[in-house]
Amino acid sequence: YPTGMLAVDPEEVVRMHTSSGTTGRPTAIFHTRQDIENWAEIMARCLAMAGATSKDIFQNMTGYGLFTGGLGLHYGAERLGMWTIPAGAGNTARQIMLMKDFHVTVIHATPSYAMHIAERMLSEGEDPKTLGLKIGVLGAEPYTEEMRLKLQDIYGFKVFNSYGLSEMNGPGVAFECTYQNGMHVWEDSYIVEIIDPNTLEPCKPGEVGELVMTTLRRTAQPIIRYRTRDLTRIIPGECPCGRKHARLDRMIGRSDDMLIVRGVNVFPSQIEEVLMKHEWVGGNYVIHLTTIGAMDEMAVKVEISKTAFDGSIETLRKLRDQLQRQLREQVGFNVHVEVMEPGSLPASEGKAKRVIDERERR
Ligand code: AMP
Ligand code: ZN
């Protein structure tokens, strides 16, 4: 970081993205014109594989900017010739209005956001089916088959799982065909391997392990045998669609401690970094993840330090407000902070359990 992985003359770079992982020191990813064209091409292939055509109207509901989900899908959709609406992330009322007014047929969002929109519509007495959507491209975060079925049922569309990571371009790496039985990897662009994350030996065919990827077409920043930390398997056998490219199963988790909250990668260490920088904060804290409605919620319980605590509610409130602001800046979404008196959280004997993940698996 920042440019040590750049493999071409800086003059050839036309675009840069970063992984959503860290805000302090993200992984910077560079693209030449050729890289952008190749990326758009494989992204367009994904959309075509799901059945989208130039007659479709596409609303892209993920963030434009350093995150690859916005521009990645955008260029692919334009390449396919779709009428592309760069709605960006958030502003649910506007998303619904755009879908209605422009008769959108294909959307791209995180599964949790798609569910959030549906719940908003239902709570306002509207039926998401009346939108007339055909295809939901949902990815960037893990979700279950049950969640897919639920979303398909609510919207009356077909949901296609979309997998990618910034280091391999972003979205467009692996995508489902109309059989919806695993994500075809574009093997003309990537070599896939599955390894045991502990021994680093290759897994047996069909066995779950860590996905390792090598780029074949990237020029600005080729990467050999990148350990994605994502756990999955290659589905044995051939797909009835006739495509020969290997299929990845749904990601079942990660081999490291990274959390994916609302599609954003968050390391517990990022939270700790903010907390521990504050002079009033004590040593003990817990990150609590839950599901409220369809959305991930992150709450941080933290103790104020004995020395800073003067016994006033006002002091606790002040610290809470400051931490909420700083954590928001760090991770990009609202984090609920609860500041507690010294000694309120259970002290650990040995390794502390910092993360309590009580999110519903849908
Ligand atoms: P980033 O490079 O910051 O966009 O994050 C990439 C990471 O997001 C991947 O390594 C996965 O952990 C996660 N991810 C992306 N797409 C999916 C998906 N369809 N299912 C599960 N996890 C995903
Ligand atoms: Zn197929």
Number of Cβ atoms within 10 Å of the Cβ of 199: 9
Shortest-distance atom of ligand 1 to CA 142: 21
Contact status, residue 303 vs residue 344, Cβ threshold 8 Å = yes
Distances (CA, A) of 190 to 39, 141, 177, 279: 12, 21, 18, 47
Taking the chain (362 residues) in runs of 10, the rounded mean pLDDT of each run is 95 94 75 98 98 98 93 98 96 96 97 86 93 96 82 96 96 98 98 95 96 98 96 96 97 78 84 85 87 93 85 92 95 94 72 82 66
Distances (CA, A) of 49 to 42, 60, 102, 186, 307: 10, 18, 23, 12, 61
Alpha-carbon distance of 293 to 316, in angstroms, equals 28
Cα of 175 from ligand 2 centre, angstroms? 9
Alpha-carbon distance of 99 to 72, in angstroms, equals 20
Cα of 163 from ligand 2 centre, angstroms? 15
Cα of 231 from ligand 1 centre, angstroms? 11
Burial 277-312 (b: 16+ CB within 10 A, else e): ebebbbebbbbbbeeeebbbbbebbbbbbeeebeee
Query: What's the pLDDT score for residue 24?
Result: 60
Q: Tell me the DSSP string of 274-303.
A: HHHHSTTEEEEEEEEEEEETTEEEEEEEEE
Query: What's the pLDDT score for residue 64?
Result: 93
User: What is the pTM (predicted TM-score) of this model?
Assistant: 0.79
Shortest-distance atom of ligand 1 to CA 229: 10
Question: Is the CB of residue 62 below 6 angstroms from any atom belonging to ligand 1?
Answer: no
Cα of 160 from ligand 2 centre, angstroms? 12
Query: What's the pLDDT score for residue 247?
Result: 98
Q: Which residues surround ligand 2, an ion (CB under 5 A)?
A: 177, 179, 239, 241, 243
Question: Is the CB of residue 39 below 6 angstroms from any atom belonging to ligand 1?
Answer: no
Contact status, residue 73 vs residue 56, Cβ threshold 8 Å = no
Query: What's the pLDDT score for residue 362?
Result: 59
Measuring from atom 12 of ligand 1, which residue has the nearest CA?
A: 230
* Ligand with smallest separation from the Cα of 141: 1
Shortest-distance atom of ligand 1 to CA 138: 19
Alpha-carbon distance of 129 to 234, in angstroms, equals 34
* Ligand with smallest separation from the Cα of 139: 1
Enter the DSSP assignment of 342.
T
Question: Is the CB of residue 139 below 6 angstroms from any atom belonging to ligand 1?
Answer: yes
**Mutate-to-test residue for ligand 1 from 108, 259, 265, 266, highest number of ligand atoms within 8 A of CB:** 265
Measuring from atom 5 of ligand 1, which residue has the nearest CA?
A: 165
Query: What's the pLDDT score for residue 352?
Result: 65
